[in-house]
Structure formats: structure tokens, C-alpha cells
Chains A and B, each alone.
Chain A
Amino acid sequence: MAETKNLDRVVIRFVGDSGDGMQLTGTEFAKAAAEAGNDISTFPDFPAEIRAPAGSLFGVSGFQLHFSSSDIYTPGDAPDVLVAMNPAALKTNIKDLVDAGTLIVNTGTFIDANLKKAGYAQNPLESGDLEKRYKVHLIDISHLTSAALDGTSLSTKEKGRAKNFFALGLVFWMYGRDPESEIRRIHQQFAKKPEFGEANVKVFKAGYHYGETAEVFQTVYKVPPANFAPGMYRNITGNEAAALGLVVGAHLSGKPMFFSGYPITPASAILHSLARYKNFGCMTFQAEDEIAAMGAAIGAAYGGSVAVTASSGPGIALKGEAIGLAVMTELPVIIVNVQRGGPSTGLPTKTEQSDLFQAIYGRNGEAPLPVIAAKSPGDCFYCAVEATRIAIKYMVPVILLSDGYIANGSEPWPLPNLSSLPRFDVTHRTDPKDYFVYERDPKTLARQWVVPGTPGLEHRIGGIEKDALTGNISYDPMNHEKQVHVRAEKIERVAQDIGELDLRGEESGDVLVIGWGGTFGALRQATDGLRARGKRVSHAHVRWLSPMEPGLARVIKNFKHVMVAELNLGQLRAILRATFLVDAIGLNKVQGQPFKVREVELAIENLLGADAPLPEGVTQTRSANA
């Protein structure tokens, strides 16, 4: 009989071929953890190829889950448990497993051909080296799976596909999860193919019972529920949250929503979600290319819809000229950029924050626009609502930055009380008397949103410079000067409409860590940890990057060190240095992977006097004065 041991938190990683169903395994186990009341954070990490050649190193797909009985911000630096389904998965992931961590290996795939593909000259399971560092469990999952399906009508290939459910059953047993709810979910998911559902349940049970009876595991672990504030919760990814936020944003404005997009990783899921929300007044349009998606959004905005498009860096590059048209014609469009590794095609399925310059400056001419960045999966919802509100209020295109990490990652999300969200209803002008196309609201500098179909207000707009009042074509030098300034001033005035700076800690001290976007979790956890140890460290997480948050000006000069941590080569740092003339240093990483908490801690400790080497590839720039 296995003993039960309580743990505060566990990081588990499932790795296998991209066809092995690791994403499904991870997602299902995350659901079980959420269901059991744990706080969770997930990190799916998969190759760009849908079905990379079996057994190859580059075809390894992984899913990391952090579940805990206390508050967590990240999917965890390093796995405590690694489930490796083949040699390539073991090879690429074993270095991350913590010392004395648990390693579960499917030995059935460790055949010569696979070992060779993974670059193993010898079978690593036979050397005994692994046992010296880890708690190793060698299980022939392939064989046990096909044995569990003996007598079914499934082909050998179909049987093989079920093996991820064996692994899932096994970890369910290891962590004392309720198998019944998972069995129900499998039946539901395979309702249209009940024979596969039945087979998966069989294999899932076989995995579960294997844990129970094989007596290879001496311990069952229990991670007690976390303390959540009372309320309704939902497990949500960033892309799901963004889609919901866009629907709610349109609802709060009282306008129908139009979304146009072109398929691109990792943004397509937003289109997929919205395409199912037709009865909420969401019209979706899969355009012929990225440019058309932006063009159609502009057309819809001109017609009076809340217009949205979403893409990733390469697609945003294509949209650039049309975004400039929206700046010039002063029409509200929400442009979501789910960032990925660049340049060019870059790393389609990996995360990066290297499109900040593109968002702020990436158009011809002086073409400023507001830029907001979401910090977590759930925050994508609020940022989408905010982007919609600002776009409409200021008659301007707004860029919402997300990234692959928070777009695909999930967390338990306290559902907002919709009735508490302030409405921002739109009224279109209908009075033809004294109408001037570019007459502006004195406070916001927004021009009026007049839509076709309104009698007596017929007018023409376009990309050529407009007279500051009438909107007629104007090549007058001073008029252009005036219009360029007023378009910039309008963006600056958005600052009067944004919330307080997200600052953790005192307004002065030794180190101010500044971040933006999806790095929030790692930065907050690292700084909280150091603060708990009495260090004078604060963390400011910037939400609005254009205009720059006013709160930053207040605090940025009050620290001995300012460190800007971002997954690029220092884009926000360059902007902050130019804006505030502060000697900000950078903590930078461009590996397609998020920051680890430890990396951030080490970098801060170095500023506080330690001299610790940072992990390979993570760079901490020096002060310009050093």
C-alpha cells in the first residue's frame, strides 16, 4: 500500500512526439488539477510542424503544468516530474528535470531506430546513469496499451495512438485525482466516435490501475486545494479570453462586432472562437490575406461596427500600410498581435516580445497609436475591453499585444461581474447642421464617427492629408504640421483615461524591475520572493506602452538600478532610456521560451551585489556609465 505525502506544489511535464497527444494529456491533467482546487499555470510548447517525422528531436511536443495549493504566477522553472514517451523527448528534456525528480519513461519506444533518430549511441536507459540522479520508472507503456486493447477491433496503429491515456491514467493515480470525471470527459470528447472513446477509457483505466497494483510507486502525492477568493472561476487561455473580451467590448459599446483575419499561428484561435459567436452579433470574415483582413476591418469601422483584426508579427507587418490608413482617417479598429519569435517566419509556435517597436513605430510617416499589452491569459479579456473602449472614444486604431505564451497558456480566472463593467455606448452624429469631418472633441481630440446611411452628412475621407477642419484634401504646409501634431497629441491624451501603474513595492529603493506583457508572472514571483527576504526591490508592470503610463515618470528615477526585463534585445529599455533619460539596464532572452523565475532572481541579486553567472543565453546588459 502506497503512503500519501502532501506537497505544496508540483511541476510536471509531458513530452513526446508531436503525434503522441501530449497537448491533450497535459490539458486533461490541468483540468483535473483545476477541478481539485489547485491554482494552475500551463505552458504548452510544441513544434511548428503538425506531424513532424516520428521520433525526431525537432518533433518533440511538450506540455508543462504547475499546480499548487498556494498562489502561483508561472508554469514553473523546472519540472519535478518528467513523463517522456520516446528517446527524442528524453534527450531534449532530461536536462530540465530537477535533481532527484521523478522520471517516467515509455521503454517501448526505445528501439534502435528511435535511439538513432534521437542521437543516442547507446540506450540511455541501460547505462544506470539516470538512476543516479532521478527516481526512474521504466514502463513499457506501448506494450501495456496494446495489451489493454487486446480483443478490440482497433488496428495496431489506432491502438498505439491511445498510449497517452495510459500516461494520463498513471499520473491521475500518482496525484490522487478522481478518475471518474476524466472518464466522463473522454466519453464526451469522443461522443461521435464511441469506439475510440471506449478504447481511450480502457487504456486510461489500465494506466490508473497499473499505478495502483504494480507497486513501483511507493508514494501517492496530494496537493491540497489552493485558497481562492469566493466567486466563479473558469480555466481560460489568453486567446479565449481575448475573444470574450472583444465580444464584451462590442456589447458595452452597443455596436455589432466585425472580425476579419487570416490564418496565422498563434492568433487563429481568436478567429475560431469568434466564428462560433454569431448570435452575439459577431460577424467573422476569413480574408484572402492579412492586408485584406485589415482593409475589411477599416471598411467595417467606416460602416459603424466595432472592427477587429488579429494576427502575429509577420501578418502585422503586412497590415502596416492599412493601419496607417486607419490612423489617417481616424477610424476605430482593434488590432491584436499575438507575438511569436521573429524576424520573418521565425519561431511560429514559440513566444517572444520582439514586436514592440513594430507596434509603436512600424508604419510610414508619423503614425502614432495607442498600444496596450496583456500580462496574463485572463488579462487578455480586460485588455480587449480596454482597447475597444479607447479605440472608440479616441477614434483611433489600437494595437493589443499578446504573445504565444499567454495566448496558449491557461490559468484559473475569476470571472468578472459583467454588470459592473462601465458601458461606453456609441452615438453616431445625425445632425447635418455645421458638420465638419475633422472637427474634434476638445477633450479627446476625437473626430465624430459619422456613418454612411445618414442623410445630409455625405462626406469623403481617405489617406491623403486632410484639412484640419473640413477634411478636404489639403497640401498646405502648415495644415500638415498641425495635423501631424494633433494626431500625436490625441494619443498622448489617452493617458488621461488609463488606470494606475501596476507597481508592487515601494516607490523608491534599490532595484526597480520594469516589464510588460506576458513576463508578468515570472517578474512578480521573482520580485515578491526577494521582497520577502527583505530586499528593496519593486516591480512595475507596464500596461499601456503608448502613450507611456504617467505613473512611470513618478517612480523611475527613485531607484539605484532600473532593470527592464523583456523577451527581446531591449526594445522597451530603449524607449524608457529615450523618454526618461534613465540609465536603465536590460535583462533579455530570445529563445522562444519565457523567463524562468530563477533567471530574474539571479539578475536582481547581481544588481544587489552578488556576482552570479546567469544561465546560458540570458543577457544582462551593463549600465552605460559602468
Chain B
Amino acid sequence: MSEAVKIKLSKKDLESDQDVRWCPGCGDYAILATVQRTLATLSVRRENTVFVSGIGCSSRFPYYMNTYGFHTIHGRAPAVASGLKITRPDLDVWVVTGDGDGLSIGGNHMLHALRRNMDLKILLFNNQIYGLTKGQYSPTSALGTRAASTPTGSVDHPVNPISFALGAGATFIARAADTDAKLMAAVLEQAYRHKGAVFIELLQNCPVFNDGVWEAVKDDPAGKQIILAEGKPLLFAGGTKGIRLGAGMVPEIVEVGEGPGKVPQTDLLVHSERGSRNYAHLLAELVHPAFPMPMGVLYREDKPTYDGLANAQMAEARQKQGPGDLEKLMLSGMVWEVGADGTRH
């Protein structure tokens, strides 16, 4: 990541020569454009940047980035990316996945990549539906979702991606909407600078199979989003409403201000990215429609990464034992010599 010479890049430098093949109106276009623009702003070295993906609409992403890219198989992107990052800690490795790819078929790999604090930047496009296979409900679809495979409504409860990432042990957790280029760019920039497992949930619209699923959140940003800011109270609705912690740590929406029925700002929860995990879990549980959705960086901590620790062990072994001597290695264990006269020594 440390570049001696700053390279000047434009968004165009990050675009590959391939035609983008998502459906018209797909939220992925906006995400692609923001990622390209942000990486250009950050002057990343294209040759040291790798995008790894699984299967699904979002996983076509690497083809459109003029960096190194690997479109792998369903759910396995975190595993492939881990093998790459462990052996090539010099590279910036991004993982692009979706709610089905990352939390259903690849849920196990996601869990372990986050748990290990592998230095991967994971972007999970959450549209609450399987798009590429033509509209089946996904592990983030709301209970009762009517889709191709659930004509009478789904009967399984959805997973909350942020809660999952927190529980697994991600060290940088954020959320942004596909259409909010400014916030997404800010989040991506901080993610890029974070050393460790990054998990960003991108609320993404699928205009064909699940159009408008985040509409209520995105079209009323003031009323349905809390834009998180370090050290600032949890406010929304133009600062007229906020989140207070009631008895038993139950979050409640309160009117902010002076007068009857209103509470002063000082009573509200104050955001800290490096707050306790309990606080982060509380934020994760603020879910639409009961609550406005927290957007921005929800949680972060500094913790040794798997790739860092593993490579440190390699360096330590070399330092302590010296570079491996193959002849000696072959002669370890139970060894003997048979002389020219057939006798043993």
C-alpha cells in the first residue's frame, strides 16, 4: 500500500475494456462507478489490486475493473482470497459478494475469513434476492417474501449481515446505500486504510426481481437513516429525532428538543466507532422499518491479522532455524549408511 511515487489515476484508468452486462437500472452500476472513482482518488497501484468474487450478479464485478481479478465459484471467494492474501501480503485483496453468495452458500467461508481477521476488504451487495438464478428468496429476504421458489411466502427468518459480521469478528464494519456515492466513497476510503477484515454491507437495488426493497430507507434518508458520525449523537429526521437507551438497554426513538415529551440531545446515544461490541450489536439491531438504519462506519478495532501473524511465524522460523537445509531435512529421522562393503554405520 505504501507508494513511493503517487500515481495520478482517473476513474477511466480503473475501467476494463469489457462491456458491463448488468440489467439497466441495477444498483451495481452505481457501486462500480463509486469504487472505480474512489480507487482512482486513492491512487492505488492497479497491479497490486485484486478483486475476487464468487457467483451471482455482483460477482461479475472483477471483469469490469482494470485490476487483477478472479471470478471464482459460488460462495468460495473468501477462501480463494485468503489463500492469495496469506501468500501475497503485498497485495490489496477485495472480495465482492452478495447476500446469497456470501451468507448462504458461502456463509461458512465468510464466518472464518472474518473470524481470522484476514486482511480482506469484503463488499457484500445486499439486494435480498437471488438475481442471476431469476428471483428466488435469499437469506436476507424478509419473512414471508413471495418469490419464484416461495409462491406462498418464505417461512425462514433472515440473517442480519451486520450482526453476522460482528459475531464472526470482523474488525471494520460499515454500511452504505448504492445510491449514496458520497458516503460509500468515504466508507471505502477508510476501509482501504484499515488493516484487517473489512465487511461493508451495500444496500443494493435489484430492479428486476426485488425492485424497491430498500426504497423506504433510501428515499427518505433523513427519516430512515442515521448517518453515523464519530463522537456525535444518534440523530435523524433533520436532528429532530434521536436514539436513546431505555431500561434493559432497549433502544428507543425519542423527540429531541426542549419542552414536554422531548429529550435533550445529551440524553442520546453517542456514536463511537471504537465503542464496545455491545454497542455495535445494538446498532446492528436498529433495522428498518422499526428503526432508521445506521449508515457509515458502525464498528472498528485494531487486531493482528491472520496473514500478518502467519507471515511473522515464517520469518521467525527462518530467523531462529536459519534457511531450511534440504540435505539435513532428508537426513532427519532414523537414518543409516550402508558402506561399500555392505556394512552399516
Q: Tell me the smallest distance from the CB of A514 to a CB of chain B, in Å.
A: 32
Q: Which segment, of B156-164, B251-259, B316-324, faces chain A? A: B316-324
B133, chain A: closest CB distance, angstroms: 15
Asked whether B72 is an interface residue with its Cβ less than 8 Å from the other chain, the reply is: yes
Q: Which of B83, B109, B317, B330 has the most CB of A within 10 A?
A: B83
CB–CB B63/A453 < 8 A: no
Inside 8 A of B86's CB, which chain A residues have their CB? 258, 283, 285, 296, 300
Interface pair A305/B314, CB less than 8 Å apart: no
Distance between Cα atoms of A280 and B317 in the complex (Å): 9
For residue A479, CB closer than 8 A to chain B, the reply is no
Are B69 and A278 neighbours in the complex by a CB distance under 8 Å?
no
Q: Which residue of B lies closest to A284 (CB)?
A: B310
Checking B67, B76, B327 against A291 with a beta-carbon cut-off of 8 angstroms, the contacting residue is B76
A399 interface contact, C-beta 8 A: no
Contacts of A247 in B (CB 8 A): 324, 326, 329
Interchain CB contact under 8 A, A458 and B342: no
Of B48, B84, B310, the contact of A299 (CB 8 Å cutoff): B84
Q: For window 215-256 of chain A, which residues contact chain B by CB distance below 8 Å?
A: 225, 227-236, 240, 244, 247-248, 251, 256
Instruction: Evaluate contact between B87 and A303: CB separation under 8 angstroms.
Output: yes
Contact for A415 among B18, B66, B81, B331, CB less than 8 A: B331
B62 within 8 A of A: yes
A283–B335 contact, CB under 8 A? Answer: no
B263 part of interface (Cβ distance < 8 Å): no
- CA distance in complex: A329, B63 (Å): 14
Knowing A453-B91, A460-B16 touch, does A295 contact B79 (C-beta < 8 A)? yes
Is the beta-carbon distance between B331 and A234 smaller than 8 angstroms? yes
The answer to whether A322 touches B76, judged by C-beta atoms less than 8 angstroms apart, is yes
Scan A414-430; emit 1 where CB is below 8 A from any B CB, else 0: 01101000000000000
B158 → chain A, closest Cβ, in Å?
A: 23
Stretch at the interface among A30-38, A112-120, A144-152: A30-38
Q: Which of A60-68, A194-202, A365-373, A461-469 is near enough to bind chain B? A: A461-469
Residues in A neighbouring B342, C-beta threshold 8 A: 225, 227-228, 230
Q: In the complex the two chains form, is A288's CB within 8 Å of B111's CB?
A: yes
A275 smallest CB distance to B (angstroms): 10
Smallest Cβ-Cβ distance to B82: which chain A residue: A296
* A278 engages B47 (CB within 8 Å): no
A300 near B84 with CB under 8 A, answer yes
Contact B71 A461 (CB under 8 A): yes
Q: How many residues of B contact A (CB 8 A)?
A: 64
Interface centre among B46, B55, B322, B330 (most CB of A within 10 A): B330
Given the complex of chains A and B, what is the CA–CA distance between A420 and B230 in angstroms? 64
Residue of B nearest to A415 (CB): B330
Q: Does B250 contact A (CB under 8 A)?
A: no
A458 and B48 alpha carbons, distance in the complex (Å): 9
Determine whether B339 belongs to the interface, using a CB cutoff of 8 Å to chain A. yes
A321 within 8 A of B: yes
B-contact bits for A440-455, CB 8 A (1 contact / 0 none): 0000000000011111
**B190 part of interface (Cβ distance < 8 Å):** no
- Is A128 interfacial (CB 8 A cutoff)? no
Which residues of chain B are within 8 angstroms of A233 by Cβ–Cβ distance? Answer: 335-338
Q: Establish whether residues B48 and A453, one from each chain, have CB atoms under 8 Å apart when the complex forms.
A: yes
Contact of A279 (CB < 8 Å), options: B48, B68, B322, B330: B322
Contact yes or no, B63 A236, CB < 8 A = no
Q: Report the count of interface residues on A (CB-CB < 8 A).
A: 73
Contacts of A236 in B (CB 8 A): 333
Interface of A is mostly: mixed
Whether A256 contacts B87 by the Cβ 8 Å rule is: yes
Find residues 76-107 in chain B having any chain A CB closer than 8 Å to their own CB. 76, 78-88, 90-91
Which of A34, A248, A299 makes the CB contact (< 8 A) with B80? Answer: A299
Q: Which residues of A contact B1 (CB under 8 A)?
A: none
Chain A residues whose C-beta falls within 8 Å of the C-beta of B320 in the assembled complex: 279
A280 pairs with B331, CB closer than 8 A: no
Known: A280-B326, A283-B87, A321-B73. A458 touches B66 (CB 8 A): yes
| Interface presence of A302 (CB below 8 A) | yes
Given A227-B342, A453-B47, answer yes or no on A300-B68 (Cβ-Cβ < 8 Å).
Answer: no
Contact with A along B26-56 (1 / 0, CB 8 A): 0000000000000000000111101010010
Contacts A297-B83, A299-B81, A299-B83 given; does A234 touch B73 at CB 8 Å: no
Given the complex of chains A and B, what is the CA–CA distance between A232 and B68 in angstroms?
Answer: 48
- Would you call A34 and B83 a contact (CB within 8 A)? no
Given contacts A288-B109, A460-B63, 15 further A-B contacts (CB under 8 A): A34-B336, A232-B336, A244-B330, A279-B323, A287-B79, A289-B108, A293-B79, A295-B73, A299-B82, A324-B73, A452-B68, A455-B46, A458-B46, A460-B65, A472-B18
| Contacts A/B (CB < 8 Å), 25 sampled | A34-B336, A230-B340, A235-B333, A244-B329, A279-B324, A283-B310, A285-B83, A285-B86, A291-B109, A292-B82, A293-B79, A296-B79, A296-B80, A298-B80, A300-B86, A322-B73, A452-B68, A455-B47, A457-B47, A460-B65, A461-B70, A462-B63, A462-B70, A463-B73, A464-B71
